[in-house]
Each structure stands twice: as C-alpha cells, then as structure tokens.
Structure 1
Amino acid sequence: MRKSLVLLALLALAGSPALAQKKPAPKAPARKAVAASSAAVLKGKSIYTQNCLTCHQADGLGVDGLNPPLAKTDYVLGDKTRLIGVLLNGLKGVDINGEEYHGVMPAQTYLNDQQMADVLTYIRNGFGNKASAVTVAEVKAVRTGAKK
C-alpha cells in the first residue's frame, strides 16, 4: 500500500508544471534553400552535355588555364546572381580560386529561363557540389536586370 502511495505521489509530481520540461521558444521560420529536384537535375545534365561539356569536361574540372572548373568552386557554389550573369553575359579572363583562366565563354542567351535554371541547378549539384537550386524566377530577375 505504501509503495502505491509513493508511486501515485511521484506520478502527480511528474505532471506538475514545476517539473515539466520547458519547451524551447519557437524559432523564427528559417528561409529554406530551394532543393534541387531530380527532374531539374536530369534536364540540366542533358543541357550541360549539349552545351557545356566540351569546354568544362565530363568531370566538371575544365581545362587548366583555359576553361575554369565547375567542381567545388566559389563561382559555382557562391552567389547565384553572379553565376546566372555568366550564362547571360559570358565571361573572359577570370581568376577562380586563385587560378587564372584565359578562355572566352560566350553568352548563352539562346537558353530560355527554364533551361538556364536547370543547367545551373545541375552544375550546383553535380561534380561533388551541394548547393541550392537555381529557380526560373531568379534567372528571370537577372535577365530582366541585364536588359536595363
């Protein structure tokens, strides 16, 4: 009987607010990075194979001194606006991760916004890279800004 009373007393205490575990304050909702969909990555890989592979190679490592690598570089993993701008405006003579590249990349404006988003999403998630997807809206915003 005494054991039952002790057990009941413990159960009553466990339910008391004084012993209840405090819940952490709710966090502000984090801005989620857009995850790369497998469909976008597959489409992007096809676009890469048709338009980028010759210069940047199948492994994304480019050609020393000529065409920059796409694997694990700040240019690819960093600012998406800058990366989109490379497709829209081309690029010539650039220093990437401390190495100079002298090749000329022409603007790829023949690609539509969806194709650009897909190929950049593929590049940002291929070759050992892990980064958020590039959206059509982001490409549109940079393209619109580039026309002004």
Structure 2
Amino acid sequence: MWFASCQNASENKKVAPVSAENLATEISKSLPTASGEKEHPGKAVYAQYCLSCHQADGSGVPGMHPPLTPGSWVGNDSKELIAIMMKGLSGKIEVNGEVYKNFMPSHAQLTDEQLADVLSYVRSSFGNNFDPVTPEMVKKVRSGK
C-alpha cells in the first residue's frame, strides 16, 4: 500500500528541467573552498567547463585527463595556460611522469574575464598557490600581443 501511494505521488509530481547554469552552480557547491572565504568567481566556470575531465578535486582521470594539482602545468607561464585554454590541446603530453593523449577543446568562446577567473581559480586551488591571471593578460594573449 505504501509503495502504491508513493508511486502515485511520484507520477503526479512534475519535475522542472535543470538549466546548465543551475547545474553548474549546484556542482560548484561541491568544489573545494577554504572555509570562511568568499567563493572564487572561477569556481562556477570550472564546474561548467573543466570538472567533467579534471574532476572536482583537480586530480584528473589517469591515462585520460591530466591533473591540475601541484607539479602539473598549472604553475607554468600564465601566457602558456591562456593559450591552451583558447586553442585547446592535442597530442601527447607528459604530466607528473604520466603520458596523456586525449584532446582538450578550445574554450575561446569564454570571455577574457571568465578565462582569467577559471585559470586563477585553478592556480589557487587543489594545493596550488600561484599568481592569479587577469583579464588584461588574457586580452593580450587573445590579441597576439
């Protein structure tokens, strides 16, 4: 009897579709932040564009997607990271002694501010402690200067 009433209740209940922005917001709530700190503006961008490959903790997927943790490319020159985000990456790369051959798509559709935010988030999360990336830096790389 209980099952039947639950079944009837669930049949009558309508579920609204979830937008990509709402899903990204919900996922970003599970990403790491230091307690007491304001949420980083790049966290939602990371949740929407990076999390599925690089994981919530930045550990990546062994043999498929490299980690974003210390010792990875995250600490490299900001211009190189911006270029990777804008052009994508393909071919064989080595990160922390492991080889990766998967394709990373371009994220050139993101604004200068979104790219700066997500790169700054990654450079200050997952055990990293590197200087932030500014929208002005992204703009220079995008314009080829």
TM-score by length of structure 1 reads 0.69
Q: RMSD of the alignment, in Å? A: 1.6
Counterpart selection for 1:66 from 60, 64, 67: 64
Shift of 1:74: 4.1
- 5 Å matches for 1:45-124? 45-92=43-90, 93-124=92-123
**Counterparts of 1:105 and 1:73 in 2: how far apart (Å)?**
19
The alignment partner of 1:100 has SS state of strand
Shift of 1:65: 1.1
**Counterparts of 1:123 and 1:46 in 2: how far apart (Å)?**
12
**Counterparts of 1:96 and 1:141 in 2: how far apart (Å)?**
27
TM-score by length of structure 2 reads 0.70
Inter-CA distance 86–145: structure 2 relative to 1 (3 Å threshold): same
Long gaps (5+) in structure 1: 1-37
Q: Of the two, which has the highest radius of gyration?
A: 1
Deviation string 1:55-86 (CA, Å, 9 cap, x unpaired) is: 00001010111101001134101211111111
**Counterparts of 2:53 and 2:96 in 1: how far apart (Å)?**
18
Structure 2: which amino acid aligns with 1:119?
V
Structure 1: which amino acid aligns with 2:137?
E
**Counterparts of 1:142 and 1:98 in 2: how far apart (Å)?**
29
The structure with the largest strand share of the pair is: 1
Deviation string 1:92-125 (CA, Å, 9 cap, x unpaired) is: 1311232211111000011000000000000000
Aligned pairs, number: 108
Q: Which has the higher contact order (CA 8 A, sep 6+)?
A: 1
**Counterparts of 1:66 and 1:103 in 2: how far apart (Å)?**
6
Structure 1: which amino acid aligns with 2:60?
G
The alignment partner of 1:64 has SS state of coil
